[in-house]
Structure 1
């Protein structure tokens, strides 16, 4: 193999390279160029400081002429057009999605949850930071403790800021909880949290996007999800709950999903209104 000699990260096999310039076009930080003098693809000298290790160059090269030494190339999957879904399939999947608020009590196998997280980790991240981390609250007793701590926060706000608590219907949720109805996590057997360092520039959108991938992927595992909004807010504002979750220093929760097997099967797709569209 003829290598660039310039990099411990990127190798180019110039015997395989057809000089189609796809890598030049596709690299988001423009590491690659074509040298008419040398008649080959070259790599920018400063590439090590600007390469975001996204793998675009490897994925787009039809001759397998490029390899990234920080990737496990044996894990790569050849794309198969037979697996591409149609517009009609995509529309059905997205329009049939429901937020699940009634779950069966059964636990979900940890391998299934791990597979769901693995697929969700394919979501894009800003500058390919891959900054998203996951926390799975699996244990039923721990789920119960976290729910009660959210209720504690709501009770505090009812006394401290009754106007805000009233607008959010906190007393109604508290009364329901005390009567045995779980308006916090809806009886979901598990909670999956995406978190990241607050210093990551795109931490919020990266974590939320990954959680959205999870929400879309979950039904293929026979699972349902719902965004745990009250928990998410409380986990950011209520010190006892923040301490209980014990994230790494400097990390913040950006998205939380209830996860479990849906108790009921929805029979119809309800068409939702399209938001206003402006063109400029």
Structure 2
């Protein structure tokens, strides 16, 4: 059976467990009173958030929605090693040393393709991802900022952009790239200003991106200085071609590093409270 959502249940496979009905957050599914198989409750279609949980939760792959065949979904890792996941988190580092070369195309494609899986508030999935995926373009960003900073140093008083970065003045005057850290690539994530959670969605997306990147041997850096530079130099922000109604949330530098970390750090304990 099928409707405008291309919601289809294979009667020969469905075991009538009701998992899809129980897991529907907007309660738009029920057992058809005539045929006793799951169906979309008439009049509830506009409530759908396109989460596809019904497809994912079906234990026998009997359910399709939006034309998605469950046989084409990635299978779950039934027993992910918790220690390996913890090791990935513990060994995540902020890289500030990069080789001046592009990542290979296969790795870049993997990083871009992963982004379709990142969660967003109310399953909105309207994020915009602006990649600087060519080191020559990144060099143009670097030159623009370097030239702009040199001009700022000739002003008295110093503009707020430089005043906030007093600790880096010596490096900036010498031409050191303390803004982009020599990274060959950058990812800027923007959200619609009227989306459900525009402030946090870019940060969530970059968190997923960072861990996946480092699992591929790609260095990453959350960079507030780069974000400040994008906001300071409108010609750079314009090159990102953000759609109307979008605002850049945050950016991440990334690329092949010329350093290797050989062990995790040993951080101090964090403050944890059990709320009662």
State the TM bucket, normalised to the shorter chain.
0.7 to 0.9
**Counterpart-to-counterpart distance in 1, 2:156 and 2:22:** 59
Cα drift, residue 29 of structure 1: 1.2
TM-superposed deviation, 1:161: 6.5
- Give the aligned partner of residue 271 of structure 1: 266
Give CA deviations for 1:222-247 in whole Å, capped at 9, x if unaligned: 21100121121332354343334332
Question: Would you say 1:96 and 2:61 are equivalent positions?
Answer: no
Counterpart contact for 2:190–2:246, Cα < 8 Å: yes
User: 1: distance between equivalents of 2:228 and 2:135?
Assistant: 21
Aligned mates of 1:154, 1:73 — CA distance in 2: 56
Structure 1 unaligned regions, length at least 5: none
Cα distance change on mapping 1:16 and 1:245 into 2, 3 Å: closer
Provide the C-alpha distance between the structure 2 equivalents of 1:75 and 1:39, rounded to a whole number of angstroms.
27
Q: Where does residue 48 of structure 2 map in the other structure?
A: 51
CA distance in 2, matches of 1:159, 1:114: 46
Q: Does 1:62 align with 2:59?
A: yes
Q: Under a length normalisation based on structure 2, what TM-score does the superposition of the two structures give?
A: 0.86
Q: What's the CA shift string for 1:209-233, capped at 9, x where partnerless?
A: 1111111011222211001211213
Judged with a 3 Å threshold, the aligned counterparts in structure 2 of structure 1 residues 153 and 238 are, in CA distance, closer, same or farther, namely farther
Distance 1:11 1:194 in 2: 35
1:30 to 27, 31, 34: 27
Aligned counterparts of 1:104 and 1:16: Cα–Cα separation in 2: 53
Matching residue within 37, 41, 45 for 1:40: 37
- Deviation at 1:147? 2.8
Q: Which residue of 2 aligns with 1:20?
A: 17
Please, which moves more after superposition, 226-235 or 86-95? 226-235
| Equivalent of 1:250 in 234, 237, 245 | 245
How far is the alpha carbon of 1:30 from its aligned partner? 1.3
Residue equivalent to 1:121: 116
Matched, 1:210 2:205: yes
Summarize the alignment of residues 224-263 of structure 1 with structure 2, pairs less than 5 Å apart.
224-263=219-258
CA separation of 1:164 and 1:76: change in aligned 2, threshold 3 A: closer
Shift of 1:201: 2.1
Give the root-mean-square deviation of aligned CA atoms: 2.7
Residues 100 and 135, structure 2, Cα contact 8 Å, conserved in 1? no
Residue 49 of structure 1: CA displacement? 0.4
Q: Secondary structure at the match of 2:261?
A: coil
Long gaps (5+) in structure 2: none
Q: CA–CA distance in 1 between the matches of 2:72 and 2:158? A: 53
Tell me which residue corresponds to 1:144.
Answer: 139
How many pairs are equivalent? 273
CA contact (8 A) 1:120 1:217 kept: no
Contact 2:122/2:196 (8 A) holds in 1:
no
